[in-house]
Amino acid sequence: MATPHINAELGDFAPAVLMPGDPKRAARMTELLMPDARLVSDVRGILGFTGEVNGKPLSIMASGMGQPSLSIYVNELFMHYDVKRIIRVGTAGGLSPKVKVGDVIIANGAHYEGVMNTYLTPNTHFSAVASYELVRAAADAAGEDDTVVVGPIVSRDRFYGVDPADNDALARVGCLGAEMEAGALYGLAAQYDRQALAVLTVSDHITVPGQDMTAEERENKFQKALELAVAAAHC
């Protein structure tokens, strides 16, 4: 039962899916967690794998960049493949002085400046929040690790041209970082009555320049976030 963007059959995906943006990162995560996993989808180079971690089924599939791309795959996974929970494992730019490059954000909510969620509650501003059970599982797995921070982020539909004053305002109200996918993911999880979470490695700092990770580091430095995401996937 292939969909327009996923060429897997019903039953090929586990109930829990880890979702990085980058297909190369999806392949790398699969190699680390479940080297015997099988490829279940590869439409347009967006790779999906299914295997087992500690005897429990798990899938990993890329989303591409941005809310519209992610929304295509999340809609199809929830609608057609009976996926129950999706955990985004990605990167974010730091906004708050509470986080530094290399830290991990467990995003309990996502301010969203775009329009992807506006149809959900037409007369009310929808609050895009993570599933509490998944937040709790990831936070419990982190323990006392002070490089892991729980808090809100902002999800954007644009990468360039953001007013620095907007970043400063968000940081003042406790927003930890900025990325481009979680807001739509949380909205879709609410729509389908499923579970969602984003666990994000801070790859650069927007308000403290000069701390960027390289492209290679962005692809490979996600081990802590991956551990927390697996804990949430199997809670």
pLDDT at 159: 84
Give kind and range of the element (H or E) at residue 184. helix 182-192
Is it the case that residue 220 has pLDDT exceeding 60?
A: no
**Mean pLDDT, the chain, integer:** 92
Q: Tell me the per-residue pLDDT of 106-157, one tens digit each, with 9 for 90 and over.
A: 999 999 987 888 888 888 888 999 999 999 999 999 999 999 999 999 999 9
Q: Are strands 177-179 and 85-94 parallel, antiparallel or unpaired?
A: antiparallel
Between helices 223-233 and 132-142, what is the axis angle to 10°? 130
Q: Tell me the per-residue pLDDT of 68-81, one tens digit each, with 9 for 90 and over.
A: 999 999 999 999 99
Is it the case that residue 48 has pLDDT exceeding 70?
A: yes
pLDDT at 206: 87
**Helix ranges restricted to H, 35-147:** 67-80, 132-142
Chain-centroid distance, C-alpha 64: 11
> Which CATH fold would you assign to the domain 16-234?
Rossmann fold (3.40.50)
Write the DSSP symbol of residue 212. P
Catalytic residues: 204
One-letter amino acid for residue 168 of the chain:
D
Is it the case that residue 214 has pLDDT exceeding 80?
A: no
Give the predicted TM-score (pTM) of the model. Answer: 0.93
Q: Tell me the per-residue pLDDT of 3-32, one tens digit each, with 9 for 90 and over.
A: 888 988 899 999 999 999 999 999 999 999
* Cα(68)–Cα(73) distance, integer angstroms: 9
Domain residue ranges of the chain, discontinuous segments joined by +: 16-234
Is it the case that residue 232 has pLDDT exceeding 90?
A: yes
